[in-house]
Structures are given as C-alpha cells and as structure tokens.
Amino acid sequence: MVSQAEVIRNLIETNWSLTGQLNKVETTAMKEVVRFFDRQEVEGNEWPKAITVEKINDEADENTVKHPHFTEVRDKYIISCHFRVTDSDPTPYSDALDQVEDMAEEVQLILSTAYDPHAGNGIFFVVNTQWNKNDHRDGAQIDLVRYMTFILTKISSENPNVVEGFGGVLRIDGGKIYAETYNVQSVHGMPQLSEVIVGNTKLPVYFTGIFQGRINADMFLTTEDIGALGTDINHIGTDLTNGEVDENVFLQQFSNSTQTVTITHTIKIINFEVVGFVEDLVKLKMIGEIITQPTMVVA
C-alpha cells in the first residue's frame, strides 16, 4: 500500500524540473543530484540535496473537527528542502542560499498546481502552507533547511451520498465561464393562488399560477471579463434577440467521493451589481430569472 507521504513525494519528484545544480538526474559533471524521500533522513547520513515528506498523522488517525452532519478532515505534512553547503566562502554561500530558496519555490509551485482549491481539480477546500527555516551551522559543513507545514482539509459527510457544496462551479453556456462563482442560491416553483367562494366555510380554493424562479450568485470581477466581444460582462444579460434578453444556461456542479450532481438552470439575467470594499476583492452580484424547471442529473 502506498503511503500518503509517498504520494506527495512521488508528485514532487515526477514534476521536478529544476536543472543545473538542482537536477534530479545524475550527469557526468554532477553526482550530488536532488533526491526525494517519504520519511525523515537518518541524522548524520543526510543526502547533500534532498526533499523529504513526512506525514504527521497516519491515514487512520487524521486530525478532525467534528460538526453535527460532517467532519473536517485535516492531513498534516512537513516538507523539507535540505541543501548542504560545502564551501562557506561568501560567494558560494550566497549561491547556496539562492538554490535552497529555488528548491522551496519549486515545491510550492508543484503543490499549488496539484492542490490549489481555486483550480477545482481536487477534493480539498482549504490548503494551508507555512514556510520556516532550520539551518544547522554548528558542524563542519553548513546545512540549509527550509521546511513547510502543509495541511490539506476536506469535508467528510456522515452520509456518504451527500454532495459537497464547496465544489460548486457556475458557467454561462456559450459565453464567459465563471469558475470562481460562489454563494449560489436558487428558488423555483409554482405559486398557489387562493380565492374564497361566497357561501362556503371561508376556506380558500387554490389555483396553480405560472412557473416562477430566481437565482442569485456572487462572482469575482476580473479584467478578462471586460472587453471580450460577445462574452464581455457588459453584454451578458443585455444582448437582445427580437427585443428580448437572451437566455443563458447556468450549470452548478457538486461532487462527493464517487459521483457528481449537475443542476441545469435556463435563465435570463436581469441585474448585475458591482460591490467593492476597502481591503476586499471586487465582486459581481448577479440576479437572474429562472424561466424553466431546472433539472438535476447524477453521474
């Protein structure tokens, strides 16, 4: 069985692309290549250039935060970049400092690509990273160490069939894709109209009205949203066909460990509101009318 630390170690090694003195492939001119470990190295026998991944808690004993209907599961790792300085003269030492920082940046880049919650390609809705240094200067050679506390947090429902809301994606069919849309709320149905008939016991008689629906969503405003003809934010909701606002299809997707629920809304956008506060990201608040019964599909 492959350990969780080994999974991340393999990810870093497979995607490692630094060359020169930080290559992972041995060459004639360089024998001390970067090596990768899923455990802490043996003290006194460390490889001169190394990346180590340690899982602080094993798979059966993750850190958890219990809620009434779900659990936050937190996997904690320590990922270290180790670089041994063989020459303490100022120039080689400065070069070594730059190279251990390059190693740390490469690790950060690889992990961000694989586990960034914004990318929508993982199951983790919170990723925490924090870098520290732990250099050893008391030996014959200086060991530079940069280590990162890496915490992955996901939601585990008490009911395995429940889908997880943080994975929602909202798209406008045929136009701009809003991958960072959140706080999506929708309501739809048939209103019930009542009427009292004279002479009865004053209990109302009900009649079904026409279908009604409303959807609200928040999204971040980006410069890419402005100036792209046809998909420009200025056009969505205002393009007219025969004097009528065009229809758009909004897709919401939510997942659990095995399946994805897709909710399809056919809407007409009726309002955009720009919200910008000090020390906050600029947001668009969208309001749309749902014009047909939404559909839900499990796949």
Torsion angles phi and psi, residue 112, rounded to 5:
-65, -40
Residues 213 and 174: their CA atoms lie apart, in Å, by 22
pTM: 0.60
pLDDT of residue 105: 93
Asked whether residue 262 falls in the same domain as residue 150, the answer is: no
* Domain stops at, among 139, 157, 175: 157
Domain of residue 140 covers 4-157
Same domain, 8 and 135: yes
Q: Are residues 147 and 204 in the same domain?
A: no
| 151 and 195 inside one domain | no
Boundary (domain end) residue, out of 157, 188, 210? 157
Residue 13 sits in the same domain as residue 142: yes
**Of the residues 112, 138, 157, the one at which a domain ends:** 157
Q: How far apart, in Å, are the Cα atoms of 229 and each of 124, 129, 234, 235, 247?
A: 35, 39, 9, 8, 17
**Following CA atoms 215, 219, 223, 229 in sequence, which dihedral angle do they give, to the nearest 10 degrees?**
-20
Domain co-membership, 8 together with 150: yes
What's the structural domain count of the chain?
Answer: 2
Identify whether residues 139 and 84 lie together within a single domain: yes
Q: What is the CATH number of the domain that holds 271?
A: 2.30.110
- Tokens for 76, please give them: 């904690």
- The CATH number of residue 89's host domain is 3.30.2000.30
206 with 293, same domain: the answer is: yes
Sequence-distant (≥ 6) Cβ neighbours of residue 225 within 8 angstroms: 176, 232, 233, 284
Let me know whether 170 and 153 are in one domain.
Answer: no
Can you tell me which residue has the tokens 């997942």?
255
pLDDT of 30:
61
Q: Are residues 126 and 22 in the same domain?
A: yes
For residues 146 and 178, give the distance between their C-alpha atoms in angstroms, rounded to a whole number. 37
pLDDT tens-digit profile of 119-164? 544 566 678 889 999 988 776 778 899 999 998 887 666 666 655 5
**pLDDT tens, per residue, the chain with 299 residues:** 567 889 899 999 999 988 877 888 776 666 678 999 999 888 777 888 999 999 877 655 567 777 666 677 788 899 999 998 877 677 888 888 999 999 999 999 898 888 876 554 456 667 888 999 998 877 677 889 999 999 888 766 666 665 555 444 555 555 556 556 777 888 999 999 988 877 667 788 889 999 999 998 887 777 766 665 555 666 665 666 677 777 878 877 777 667 788 888 888 888 888 888 777 778 888 888 999 999 999 88
Q: How far apart are CA 57 and CA 27, in angstroms?
A: 37
Same domain, 145 and 186: no
